[in-house]
Every structure is written in structure tokens, then in C-alpha cells.
A and B are shown apart, each in its own frame.
Chain A
Amino acid sequence: MTLFLPVILPLAAIVMLLFSYKLNRLQQFISIFSMSLLVLLAIHILLEVISNGPFAMQAGGWEAPFGITFTVDLFSAIMLVTTALIALIVTIYSIGFLDKTRKQAGFYILIHGLVTGVNGSFLTGDIFNLYVWFEVMLISSFVLITLGAEKQQLRGAVKYVVLNLIGSVIFVTAIGLMYGQMGTLNMADIALKLREIEHTGLINSSLMLFFIAFGIKAALFPFFFWLPASYPTPPVAITAFFAGTLTKVGVYVILRFYSLFVITDLTTWQMIVMIIAGITMVSGVLMAASAYDIRKILSFHIISQIGYMIMGLGIATVIGLGGAIYFMVHNILSKTATFMAGGLFFKYRGSYDLKEIGWIYKDKPLLAFLFLLPALSLAGIPPTPGFFGKLFLIYGGFQAGAWEITTVAIIVSIITLFSMVKIWNEAVWKKIPEHSKAVDKKTLPVSSFWSTLVLVVLIVMFGLGTGLYADYFFEAGRQLMDAELYINTVLK
């Protein structure tokens, strides 16, 4: 029962939010209450996994290969906690940030829908069920991205919707191929049967289709064009949550599938993954270096950082995977925080364009630091979590002898620092340009400011305490590599 609650809880909240439609205050209260409960629940599941190891539950009492399995290991439990935390913080942030029309048009309902889909994708052990959760997630995000229906938003949303729908079509095609070959869609069952199969031709093409489908969702190298076109368009409260969760679900699924299903042609796959990781990192960071809008710079950086996570997969050692998981958590926190701080800059100065704004340090030094800390974390300066994430990945890379990708990773870090410093210089230290068209609003919504502050404090604490729990991340990486463990957990 426990494992179904992360999905049931937001759904139950949606029911209550629908009954209290248009009652803004009541909706805020319900949202914060349910998101807090979700955090506690996720922490409960995490503790359970830490003390008793991975476990699984079957829906409706149908045994594993026939029914739908929900299963959790350390990796998915860590991701559950992180997304629940981000969902809570972004919900509080949005109370002050979003205008009343958007909130009354169903923002809270949709964000719960998104959380339902994300949690479901983390927990499910069945590929078709995974597809359903992906759709739940995508439909909510389609509406969220167009919420408010500004012209620019709609233009971005068209690209987002079209490319994600193509991704879904490829996903279903891959499911069909997989089912035709294996006769089952239970992930553990497939992994078990793959060990006995002789003809791997269809399996490889199905896996490649899966890789492309999830690559589109995760914004990997040749498929990332929808992201910079659509993410900068909705209000930052929404983008912040997208940045923290949507692409990471894609990465999560790639990691999960790869570790379970890629058994033959391991070296070829590893090479493909490494090359894609490298190009993703470089292209993302170069595009960021040329942008001049805070939201655009940060959106391009999402792509670049996805490369690091995929690089951990390419290294495919315990340290590499553990590092990738650590990096995902760090990135979800830091990326969301930079977006939230960028949104506060906008509230204060009235523009996202770096050429129009400046001098935040003079008026609001604390606000400047709220951006600086997560930005340094993204660049990887000690003692922020970004440093440790990159340290694990680079250490793992050198240890595995993957010199090329590791060198690329180090160079990309420096360029990341460059574009973070660019935002800092332009928005925080520079005088406000005389011909600036932006009108100072000089307002800082209370809830948005404090939620950003809390998140930044959390990030710093997360970095400082890395030594205490680094082992759990490596344990998560070990569990991820151990396909036998997954199979035994689900099929008993």
C-alpha cells in the first residue's frame, strides 16, 4: 500500500482542489498541505529502503509478470524525496509569484497532476504503465506551459507539444516491438528473459527506439531543440518546476532501462552513450554562452547538465552511476534554485534581459547571493554539491579510463562558470544601463523570496554534508547496476 501512496496522495489532492475550484486561499492551503505530506511520505519510503532494502508491491494482488508492479530501490527513493521537496518549494514560491488569473485557471491542480505522473514514473515496474505515467506528466505540462495563453507561450508550446508527441509515438512503437519479441512488459520479467534469448536484432532496435524516445524527453543531443524554444516562455515558477523534474524523469528512465536491458553489445552502447553525452554537454554550454536572457541561459544549461548525468551512465561503474545519481539530485535542487532566483530578479527589475538590468547587489545584496550560491553549484565550486557531483563523475571517469569524456566534462565546467559569471556581472554588478527599457518594480513577493532562501540553504547544507551520505548514493549506484537484485525484488 505504501508504494501506491505517492501517486494516490496528489490525486486525492486534485479531487479536493477540483471541489474548491476558484477558492484561491483554500487551494493554496490544500496544495501546501498535500505537498508537505508527500515529502514526509517520500522520506518514510526512503528510510524503509535504507533499512530493509528494495521492495515491490503488486496492484490488485495480481502476481508480478501479469499485474502492474510498483517497486522502489534506493535510486527511485532518492528521486522521490528530491522531487517531493522541489514540488513543495515551488508551490510555495508560486503563491507570491504567479498572477491570480493563472492560479485560478488551475495551476495547483496541474502541478499535482505533474507530480502524480513523475512519482508514477519513478515507481512503476511495467513499461506500459510507465507510458501512462509519462502521458499524465506530459498532458499536465502541456497545459501548464500554455497557462495564461500569451502569444510567446503558445509559440513555444507548439514546439514542445509536437516534439513530445513524436517522442510518445516512438515510445509506443518501441513498446510494441518489445512486447512482440518478449511477450511481456514487466521490466523485471523482460530483464530475466533477455538473458536466455538468442536473437537480439529486434531487441536492439527496440532499445534504440526507447533511447530516442527518452532522449527526446531528457533533451539529449540531437533531440533537444524543443527545450530552449519552450522552457523560457512560461512564468519562471512553472519553468523552475519543469527544469527540476521533467527532463530528469527522462534521465531516470534511461538509467533504469540501460542497467536492466543492455546486456549484449555493451561496448557499442557505451560508446554511443559517451559520444552523445559529450556532444550534449558541449552544445548546451556553448549555446548558453551566446544567450543574453536569464531564462534562456539557464534553459541551455539544463541540456548541458543532462550530458553529465548520461556520462555517468557511459562510465557504468559504481562510482560513475553513484556520481550520476548524486549529480541528478544536485542538479534538480540547484537548477530550480537558479530559475527561482532569476524569477526574483525579474520581479525586482522588471526584465529577464541581461542588457536591460543591473545593480542588484547595490539594492538587495541577499538576493544576489541567492543566485550566486546555486550558480556556483552548477559551475562546480567547492563546497557546493555541484563540486562533489563533478568530482565523483570525473574520478569515476578517470578510474574507468574514459579520458576523452572526462576531459570534455572538465572543460565544459569552465564554460559553465563563464556563463554563470556573465549573469552575475550583468545582472548584479553592472550599473543599470541608462537607456534601459525595463521598469523597476522593486517588489519581492514574500513567499517566493523565503522559499528560494530555504532552497539555497538546503543546497549549501546538502553540499557540506556530502561526506555523511555519499555512501548511500554509491549504494544506489550499486543497486542500479545489480539487475539480479531488481529481478528478485519484483519476481520474488
Chain B
Amino acid sequence: MIMRSEILKIAALHLKPLLLVLSLIVLYRGHNEPGGGFVGGLLAGTAFVLHGMAFGAECTKKLPLVKPFLLIGLGLMFSLLSGFIVVLFGNDMFMQGLWINIPIPGITELKLGTPLLFDIGVYLVVAGMLMLVMLSIMEED
């Protein structure tokens, strides 16, 4: 790719943080509404793919967040841990869900639980995988 559009560059720069925030929202609401780790991860990965299309894969690979193997490893670790937390509490049911509700006065209630941790793991694995695959394909040409 020799031609790089300035419009795309500027759009990508502004869209990347927007997409990342959106991916986090999609991740969080995923337990009861459409969304979840997989879709969120895809959105997050897409943000970096867009950056790659605008600036070239080489440039994207230098970004601080683009460490695919670390992300996949962390994601897998979170997903595994989410199953173990319940075991640490003395219950032998691997992967049973545990929930804590943290009220945020006036606005809403923050529901945190092991399924969310599992979803965060999926999010990281999918995002990392998408970066890994797409950036190496884009590098080829």
C-alpha cells in the first residue's frame, strides 16, 4: 500500500479511542443484553486494524497496546481464573458464578462477577487474535 489517504488517517486516529470505549461498553452489557466478550474483542481488534489500514501495519505494531501474545495469554489466564475463584472460596464447583453488586449512588448498580471476568478473558483473546492475524496478513503486501 503506497497511497495513504489523509482523511482515513485522521478518521482512524479519532475513531480508535471511540471504538475501544464502545467495545468496553459492549463487553460490560453482554451478560444480560446483546454483546459480550467476543463482540467486544472483535470491536477492539477492529480499532487497531483500522489504524493499520490508515498508517500501515508496521506503524500499528509499535503501538503500546499491540502485544498479541501477551493479550492472548492474559485473556486465557483471566478466563481460567474466573473458574478458580469459586474454588478459592472453599466451594468445589469449578466455574460456578459469583457476583458482587457495587452500588453507584444515583446512577446505577455495578454488577461484577466471575462470568464478567471470563468475558474479559474472551475479550482479550479475541482482540489479541484479531491483531495477530490481521496485522500479519497486512504486512505481507
On A, residues with C-beta under 8 Å from B are 1, 4, 8, 11-12, 14-16, 18-19, 21, 57-61
Contact = CB atoms under 8 A, between A and B. Distances in A.
Given A19-B70, A59-B94, A60-B94, A12 B87 contact: no
B97 A15 contact: no
B92 A1 contact: yes
26 contacts: A1-B87, A1-B94, A4-B94, A4-B95, A8-B83, A11-B76, A11-B80, A12-B80, A14-B73, A15-B77, A16-B73, A18-B70, A18-B73, A18-B76, A19-B69, A21-B69, A57-B94, A59-B95, A60-B93, A60-B94, A60-B95, A60-B96, A60-B97, A61-B91, A61-B93, A61-B96
7 closest cross-chain pairs (CB), A and B: A18-B73, A61-B93, A60-B95, A61-B96, A15-B77, A21-B69, A60-B96
B26 interface: no
A397 to B, nearest CB: 43
Contacts of B72: 18
Nearest to B69: A21
A15 B128 CA distance: 13
Specify which of A15, A19, A57, A58 lies most central, judged by the most chain B CB atoms within 10 Å of its CB. Answer: A15
Contacts of B70: 18-19
Interface residues of B, number: 16
Contacts of A11: 76, 80
A11 B72 CA distance: 12
A15 B83 CA distance: 15
Interface in B71-91: 72-73, 76-77, 80, 83, 87, 91
A8 B80 contact: yes
A61 B76 CA distance: 22
Contacts of A57: 94
Contacts of B73: 14-16, 18-19
Contacts of A58: 93
Contacts of B69: 18-19, 21
The prevalent SS among residues of B at the interface is helix
A477 to B, nearest CB: 30
Interface string B40-76: 0000000000000000000000000000011011001
Given A4-B83, A15-B76, A61-B93, 4 more contacts: A1-B94, A19-B73, A60-B93, A60-B95
B103 to A, nearest CB: 26
Contacts of B97: 60
B79 to A, nearest CB: 8
A492 to B, nearest CB: 15
B96 A14 contact: no
A14 B76 contact: yes
A40 B97 CA distance: 29
A59 B97 CA distance: 10
Contacts of A8: 80, 83
A37 to B, nearest CB: 15
A221 to B, nearest CB: 37
A242 to B, nearest CB: 24
A419 to B, nearest CB: 42
Contacts of B76: 11, 14-15, 18
Contacts of A18: 69-70, 72-73, 76
Interface in B14-46: none
A129 B2 CA distance: 47
Interface in B91-125: 91-97
A15 B94 contact: no
Most buried by A among B73, B94, B96: B94
Contacts of A1: 87, 92, 94
A25 to B, nearest CB: 17
A11 B93 CA distance: 19
Nearest to B115: A60
A20 to B, nearest CB: 9
Nearest to B114: A60
B83 to A, nearest CB: 7
